[in-house]
Structure 1
């Protein structure tokens, strides 16, 4: 059974509320002997530019800021102390937050990162920050992006996969997503649903090939995905009514299905690519996250973590 026992919570010192901390405590309460590390990377460029101070004086000023933040974290976590969860506090001086977070994960062996997803004050929608995207692409452990909706016991968990792909990495990622989603659903006494999007018929094929039958092509593609999805359902003992196949783009299908079943949590994966494929994948992930009103748990395909790329 999956265990999230070494949880890292990223704290934003500029935020008024901290739903990530509350969610992390809720997850830890479902475990045994869980620890939560409150992590805050901070950086003030003005301290580096103070030429009138010596390097030792600048270091003392930085340490003063770090200590002040540690005291603030102690106050923040105080209401959550109940004896069952162990808390640790880490405040570091680092100009690139995502690098500091990933380094902490690698050094301390955390098995889950929990971070709030920012809310846009003007149009009341959630936005995907650069730190969020770097974490999803490079963090070696699952990342839980928290919004403000609660996790009701007995609700629905939605796992999103790409099932009609024979690539070994994608197959392994699909198995990982469904398996771990099942464990999360059991912890929450929730129903696990699985969704897969299959593509529209390419317009250029219909235009360039005179004998091309788009209806027959679309039916063949749908059948391929239906068969693959049914095989995953059989492998993980999922009832047919909890398997969802929809035509369209993943960034449209996943939020639609989540709303349809009133999911409290969506779980999906990222292959951790770099370069152009990462940019394209990032655009899809960003749109999915922004369109979902519930929390998102993102897990990375197996592979060595990286701070570059």
Structure 2
């Protein structure tokens, strides 16, 4: 995962900019170029019955000019560090649409956006724009949690049997990304796969129910073999691999908490052709239940040199 260009979504008029803070941490380690995107909008300036077209245009121009001045102030300390920085202020809504337009133009290596923080729940709360970017952003998407960042460890959530409806190549992308980020950023990498046999209470076949213990053993063996075959293709030390029995939506948040994971890598695919199509159900349940940053990867395009 070569980090050369980072697109950072700036929160309008917010003093605290978690996504920018994380991008700065990355840029200091990789010397990546930073592209800051500020999206401005005010519904009053869209009200045609209040302003004529010329006045609307002047109002938007003035609003964008003030936005650029504020962005320049925000960027001044970054430039003082000698980091390369590019600024862009745009008008419109919804936010994710403007971000996706910028992604199409820039083709960044990574998009960073802050999530909503709730100090009582202590978890990520994803806005609609976050969900839309998860579904539609073709570039890797780093969702920044507002919790204190340590930058010590990361974890790739793998699914070698593809029970979560993911293409096989996505696991290889996750492993390569985790390995490369570990090397570039000096973070300890974990590789985890969780599995769960069908509960006895949900068994639908009398023969399987009668041999339930054998079924559970065969299920465990199948996942153990698939996980080993996947991991054996890479130079990954055994202590960094984790095969854990249990539902992913329970195992991953607990593992993140117990191992003090700072960044969780997950794969996601859009399902269906509508804007409202959901990514995998397992991923959706997990995304808002972990207490760390999230890096969401989509399947690489066919023909990619890295795709296996």
TM-score normalised by structure 2 residue count: 0.89
Moved more, 157-166 or 196-205: 196-205
1:176 pairs with 2:173:
yes
Corresponding residue of 2:136? 138
Corresponding residue of 1:4? 3
Corresponding residue of 1:157? 154
**Contact 1:117/1:127, CA 8 A, preserved across alignment:** yes
1:20 pairs with 2:19:
yes
**Contact 1:230/1:240, CA 8 A, preserved across alignment:** no
Shift, 1:126, TM fit: 2.6
**Contact 1:35/1:87, CA 8 A, preserved across alignment:** yes
In structure 2, the CA distance between the partners of 1:17 and 1:72, relative to structure 1 (3 Å rule), is same
Secondary structure, counterpart of 2:7 in structure 1: strand
**Contact 1:41/1:94, CA 8 A, preserved across alignment:** yes
Corresponding residue of 1:43? 41
**Contact 2:269/2:279, CA 8 A, preserved across alignment:** no
Corresponding residue of 2:278? 279
Secondary structure, counterpart of 1:68 in structure 2: helix
Moved more, 225-234 or 166-175: 166-175
Corresponding residue of 1:112? 110
Q: Distance in 2 between matches of 1:86 and 1:114?
A: 17
> Which one of 231, 242, 245 corresponds to residue 243 of structure 2?
245
Return 5+ residue gaps in structure 2 as ranges: 303-308
1:290 pairs with 2:292:
no
Q: Distance in 2 between matches of 1:211 and 1:193?
A: 34
In structure 2, the CA distance between the partners of 1:162 and 1:45, relative to structure 1 (3 Å rule), is same
Secondary structure, counterpart of 1:201 in structure 2: coil
**Contact 2:45/2:51, CA 8 A, preserved across alignment:** no
Matches within 5 A, 1:75-114: 75-82=73-80, 84-114=82-112
Q: Distance in 2 between matches of 1:169 and 1:287?
A: 16
Q: Distance in 2 between matches of 1:205 and 1:254?
A: 23
Secondary structure, counterpart of 2:118 in structure 1: coil
Deviation readout 1:1-48 (Å, 9 max, x if unpaired): x2211111111115441111011011111224x211111222222211
Corresponding residue of 1:307? none
Secondary structure, counterpart of 1:186 in structure 2: helix
* C-alpha RMSD of the superposition: 2.5
In structure 2, the CA distance between the partners of 1:246 and 1:168, relative to structure 1 (3 Å rule), is closer
Moved more, 164-173 or 102-111: 164-173
Corresponding residue of 1:201? 198
Q: Distance in 2 between matches of 1:12 and 1:100?
A: 13
Q: Distance in 1 between matches of 2:13 and 2:206?
A: 57
**How many matched pairs?**
300
Secondary structure, counterpart of 2:271 in structure 1: coil
**Contact 1:9/1:115, CA 8 A, preserved across alignment:** yes
**Contact 2:40/2:67, CA 8 A, preserved across alignment:** no
In structure 2, the CA distance between the partners of 1:163 and 1:87, relative to structure 1 (3 Å rule), is same
Q: Distance in 1 between matches of 2:2 and 2:219?
A: 37
Deviation readout 1:255-276 (Å, 9 max, x if unpaired): 1122222112111111232369
**Contact 2:6/2:109, CA 8 A, preserved across alignment:** yes
In structure 2, the CA distance between the partners of 1:204 and 1:303, relative to structure 1 (3 Å rule), is farther
TM-score normalised by structure 1 residue count: 0.88
Q: Distance in 2 between matches of 1:62 and 1:143?
A: 29
Q: Distance in 1 between matches of 2:201 and 2:272?
A: 28
1:231 pairs with 2:229:
yes
Q: Distance in 2 between matches of 1:116 and 1:167?
A: 26
Q: Distance in 2 between matches of 1:122 and 1:193?
A: 28
